Amino acid sequence: MTLSAADVAHVAVLARLGLDGAERERIGSQLEVILEHIARLQQVDTSSVSETAQVGELVNVMRDDVDGESLPSAVALGGAAASDGGYFVVGAIQDNELDG
Amino acid sequence: MTARTITQLAHELREGSTTPRRLLDNALAHAEAAEPSLHAYLALTRELAERQADEAGRMLERDPDGASPLCGVPMALKDVLCVDGVETTAGSRILSGWKPPYTGTAVQRLFDAGAVCVGKTNCDEFAMGSSTENSAFGPAGNPWDVERVPGGSSGGSAATVAAGTVPYALGSDTGGSIRQPASLSGVVGFKPTYGRVSRYGLIAFASSLDQIGPLTRSVEDAAIVYAAIAGGDPRDSTCDPRPLGDPLETLGRGVEGLRLGVPREYMGEGIDPDVRARVEEAMAVLEGLGASLREVSLPTTHAGLSTYYIIAPAECSSNLARYDGVRFGLREDDPSLTEMYLRTRDRGFGVEVKRRVMLGTYALSSGYYDAYYRKAQKVRTVIAEEFARVFEDVDALVSPTSPSVAFTMGDRDDPLSMYMCDVVTLPVNLAGLPGISVPCGFSPELPVGLQVIAPRFEDARVFQVAHAYEQATEWHTSQSPLAATAA
């Protein structure tokens, strides 16, 4: 399989990684080698098995719907680069055209 | 405190021949002396440690018999483990300066037992790597030869235990990140059954594979630390609440009558002949102790690496989406929100993290999901079923931990050859099994590790086999050149 430059650029956008041209090229060619190795997955017969998403036996773990301890908002905001009046501050979101 | 174990230090603290404060001072002095060549730590936490040592002293005075064996004993934490108010970076620039607002469950349990935290240890960025060379803050060295890697990703934890600074450290293991550095650094490293130790407060890499576990100087110590950190936790819904029992109960039972399997695929191509020879000698020791050995087959091993390198990057690409410059960590300001994301993540992540986020995003992207992610999840089922079938006939498996001994820094600069380091440890994570690495000799003067694997929730059987082997040999008493300088 070959990974085109456009594929790599597309995946970088999906991953929100602003890679420069040289980095895209290097990572792209490394991914190609890795994907070539990974192709051996297709040799395994999986016609009679289902997917494993997790190996634990626990399902639908719930707790009682009661208030518990939680972080005070000032503490939760404490690691943010910018906050104001109990909110995280970010730039305008109307420009998000990368996926378009 | 050269080569002294938790058990020995606990005894000395009770007979009054030392104090928590004295142990701490020795550990800090040794860390400071070793650091220029070792770089095992990203930060020493002197203030926290002094507070904890004083409190441990009071706990021991109040109730020496009731206090935990961990009370007053110095230790270190891999820098992926959150401690309230203490900088936690996961070895990444994107979290440089971040101070978590809470302490993780496993760490809190150790602190409650009176542990004294000396510092946060170096690791591959977000635990992605097998050499600690991917740390954004520079690589760690191996105490047996500082030009070589200590393994990874919990390389700093392995190095500081092997250097004799602290008797134990916590690490995390997603594909071998506790066992492989333990093997390369000549210490014991234990990865518990998936679901036995809460992941609350562990910075996530691949959530269906990650487990916290100890690196120690003895199997008994590994069991002691495991007993302290394991058990149900309402803050991690994958943490199993079933009773733990006493993980130390099986120590000393020996291996007489146990059936041990040797996976053919773990002994063949790609395993250094010298490593294989040491492991075969270890198997002969176990046979001499009364275990019966037989060859078994895990035929899908050849696809284990491929399965792992779809599932782990897929989960990491999702987990690492949270580093967006908004709620914590680095932000590269830009008037456009999208540009801010792109610039922040480009600047904050190192090349291996970017590679895995790219690989995972690709495997999950439209048009490739079925061929890669869904297929890998199915092969994961096949691999887990093969283990389950083999465990119908044997009680545990024994194998090498790592295909090679510690390699020279910079030697593995292509990603795939680095990924191969974990070829016999990562299937254990895919199946959620417990596994340990215990020292089993040298090649020629670098440590080799023996891996013991058991069925899910049979963590105590892992300790039983490893302990029997350890007690029959002298390898665990060997000290690295750097440990010889410990006070």
Q: Who among A49, A57, A92 is closest to B337 (CB)? A: A92
Which own/partner pairs from A1-5 qualify as long-range (CB within 8 Å, at least 24 positions apart)? A1/A32, A1/A35, A1/A36, A1/A39, A2/A32, A3/A28, A3/A31, A3/A32, A3/A35
Decide if B208 touches A, using CB distance below 8 A.
yes
8 Å CB contact of A17 and B310? no
Which amino acid belongs to residue B257?
A: G
Q: Residue B177 catalytic? A: yes
What does the pLDDT read at residue A92? 80
Q: Report pLDDT for B431.
A: 98
| Angle subtended by helix axes B459-472 and B219-229, to nearest 10 | 160
User: Rounded to whole angstroms, how far apart are CA atoms B24 and B36?
Assistant: 19
Task: Quote the pLDDT of residue B414.
Answer: 87
Fold held by B6-260+392-485: Amidase signature (AS) enzymes (3.90.1300)
**Closest residue on chain B to A30 (Cα):** B415
The CA distance from B272 to B277, in Å, is 9
Q: Does B359 touch chain A (CB under 8 A)?
A: yes
Q: What is the pLDDT of residues B251-270, one digit of tens each?
A: 999 999 999 999 999 998 89
Classify strands B435-442 and B188-191 as parallel, antiparallel or unpaired. antiparallel
CA distances from B99 to B1, B79, B82 (A): 31, 11, 8
Running along chain B, 487 residues long, what does each successive block of 10 average in pLDDT? 84 97 97 97 98 98 97 98 98 97 98 98 98 98 98 98 97 98 98 98 98 98 98 96 96 97 94 97 98 98 96 98 96 93 97 97 94 97 98 98 97 89 96 98 97 98 98 94 74
pLDDT mean across residues, chain B: 96
Q: What is the per-residue pLDDT for A96?
A: 56
| Domain locations in chain B as residue ranges | 6-260+392-485
Residues 6+ apart with CB under 8 A from B431: A55, B383, B384, B387, B388, B456
Instruction: Kindly write down the DSSP assignment for every residue of B22-36, as one continuous string.
Output: HHHHHHHHHHHHHHH
A65 and chain B in contact, CB less than 8 A: no
A46 touches chain B (CB under 8 A): yes
What integer pLDDT is reported at residue A69 of this predicted model? 86
The pLDDT value recorded for residue B2 is 53
Rounded CA separation B476/B252 (Å) = 16
For chain A, the distance separating the N- and C-terminal CA atoms, rounded to the nearest angstrom, is 26
Flag whether pLDDT at A99 surpasses 60: no
Are the C-beta atoms of residues B347 and B324 closer than 8 Å to each other?
Answer: no
CB interface of B with A, residues 134-193, below 8 Å: none
- Rounded average pLDDT over A89-98: 73
What does the pLDDT look like over B162-208, one tens digit per residue? 999 999 999 999 999 999 999 999 999 999 999 999 999 999 999 99
Active site residue B37: no
Q: Is B349 on the interface with A (CB under 8 A)?
A: yes
Rg (alpha carbons) of chain B, rounded to whole number: 21
B412–A contact, CB cutoff 8 A: no
pLDDT band at A100 (very low <50, low <70, confident <90, very high): very low
Tell me which residue in A8, A61, A98 faces B338 most closely, judged by beta carbons. A98
Q: Which two tokens stand for residue B451?
A: 């891996």
| pLDDT value at residue A78 | 93
Which of B128, B211, B353, B354 is the mutation pick for testing A, counting most A CBs within 10 A?
B354
- Chain-chain contact of A33 with B385 (C-beta, under 8 angstroms): no
Task: Using CB atoms, pick whichever of A17, A34, A92 lies closest to residue B354.
Answer: A17
Closest chain A C-alpha to B26 CA, distance in angstroms: 34
Q: What pLDDT, in 10s, does the model give residues A38-63?
A: 999 999 999 999 999 999 989 999 98
Catalytic residue among B135, B177, B402, B480: B177
Which residues in chain B have their CB less than 8 angstroms from residue A48's CB? none
Q: Does any CB of chain B come closer than 8 Å to the CB of residue A5?
A: no
